[in-house]
Structure 1
Amino acid sequence: MSRKNHRPSSYTICTNTYALLPYIEGHRTWMRVIEDRSELVVEEAVYKTVTTSCRFYRASLESATLYAQKAVGVKHKPPIIIGEYYGNPLIFFPTHSPKNKECVWFNYDAIDLIESDSSGKGSIIYLSNSESVYLDVSPIALRNQHSFAGSLRRYFKKSQRVHNHPMAYVTKRTFPPRKQQPLD
C-alpha cells in the first residue's frame, strides 16, 4: 500500500487543525481534516475526534461544553476549548449539534471571512491558509458561532489574567501587648 492511499485511523486536534468535516465514502462516514498546510482523510467520525482530542488535553467534551455555556451563556452548539497551547486556548465551534453527522467543526483562529454563497442561503468560509469551505448553513448562524467563540476567548483570557495576577497577601498585624488590669 502506498503512503498516498494511507488513511490514519485516528487524529488529534492541534493548532494546525483548521476544520473537521464529515467525509462520505460509500456507506461510511469518515472525516476530512483541513490543516494549515495539508489535508487528509481519517477513518474516524468527527464527533469521536473531538471527544478524544478533549481527553488528550485532559478534559472532556462535557466539561468543555459546561465551561463554554457558563462563559458565553449559549446553551445550543456552544464553542469549546479543546485544549490549551502555551497559554492560548484552542477554540473550535460546531455548525450543528455536535452529535449530528453533518456537523463541521472550525478552528476559531483559522477563519478569515464568512460570507453568503451565490444562493444567499449557504456560506463560504475562507480559511487563513487560502482554502474555502462551502456549507449549506446560514452565514448569519456561522457568524454568530464565530462571535461566540471570540467571547469565549476573551472570557478565558480574562480568567487567565485574574489567576496569574500576583495576590497581595495581608500580613498579620501585631499590636503591642495589652496592659493587664489588676484583679481586685
Structure 2
Amino acid sequence: MGRKNYQPLSYTICSNTYALLPYVDGHRNWTRVIEDRSEFVVEESVYKIVSSSCTFYRGSLESATLYSQKAIRVKHKPPVIIGEYYGNPLIFFPTHSPKNRDSVWLNFDAVELIDSDDSGKGTLIHLSNGAIVPLDVSPIALRNQHSFAGSLRRFFKNAQQVHKHQMVYLTKRRYPPRKQHPMD
C-alpha cells in the first residue's frame, strides 16, 4: 500500500474508497480507510464517515437506507447508495448494523472474492487492489450482503433505463414534428 501515516480529521467516501474499518485508539473510535492505492487512519468513526458522505452527495444515510429497503426489500443491514459518479452508483454494504461500532463498510465494486478463513468461521475479503481484509464474520453472511448490493445496483440501473426511456418519450410528445406549410 501507499502512505500510511496520513491522519485527516474527516473523510468523504469516493469511488477509490474500498473499505472502512473501525480502528480503536485508546478510547477513541477512528476509521482505517483502504483506498485503491493508499491506506490511512481518519479521526472519525466509520458511521460518521458514511453518514457525512451521504450528506456530501446531497442525501442522507436514512434516505439511502429507505431507498434500499424499498428497492430490494432487505430490512436488516441493507446496502446503500452513498452517491453517484457519472451515472454509476457508489454502493457500500455493512458487515453489522450500521450504527454498530464494529461494523465494516465495503465498496461493492472493490470486492473481488469473499473466502473462508482457515477456521471456516471468519472471512477473508480480497479487494481489487490486492489487499486482503480478515473479518470475524460468517462468509455466508457476507456473500449475502454482497449479493444484496448487486441487486441494488441492478435495481438502480433498471430505474435509470426506465427514466431515460420516459424522458425520450416525453421529449418526442412535447415537441411533435412541425407540419408542412402548404406553401413550402
TM-score, scaled relative to structure 1? 0.89
The answer as to whether partners of 2:91 and 2:109 remain within 8 angstroms in 1 is yes
Identity across matched positions, percent? 72
Once residues 44 and 4 of structure 2 are traced to their aligned partners in structure 1, the CA distance between those partners, rounded to angstroms, is 18
Aligned equivalent of 2:155: 155
The answer as to whether partners of 2:90 and 2:107 remain within 8 angstroms in 1 is yes
Once residues 4 and 107 of structure 1 are traced to their aligned partners in structure 2, the CA distance between those partners, rounded to angstroms, is 20
Aligned equivalent of 2:88: 88
Once residues 112 and 4 of structure 2 are traced to their aligned partners in structure 1, the CA distance between those partners, rounded to angstroms, is 30
- In structure 2, relative to structure 1, the CA distance for the partners of 1:146 and 1:6 (3 Å cut) is closer
Q: How far did 1:171 drift?
A: 9.0
Map 1:9-158 onto structure 2 (within 5 A): 9-158=9-158
Once residues 119 and 143 of structure 1 are traced to their aligned partners in structure 2, the CA distance between those partners, rounded to angstroms, is 17
- In structure 2, relative to structure 1, the CA distance for the partners of 1:171 and 1:28 (3 Å cut) is closer
Once residues 141 and 171 of structure 1 are traced to their aligned partners in structure 2, the CA distance between those partners, rounded to angstroms, is 51
Runs (5+) with no aligned partner, structure 1:
173-184
**1:147-178 deviation digits (Å, cap 9, x = unpaired):** 00000000000000000111153899xxxxxx
Larger radius of gyration: 1
Aligned equivalent of 1:169: 173
**1:47-94 deviation digits (Å, cap 9, x = unpaired):** 000000000000000000000001111000000000000000000000
Q: How far did 1:39 drift?
A: 0.3
- In structure 2, relative to structure 1, the CA distance for the partners of 1:118 and 1:85 (3 Å cut) is same
Secondary structure of the 1:152 match is helix
TM-score, scaled relative to structure 2? 0.89
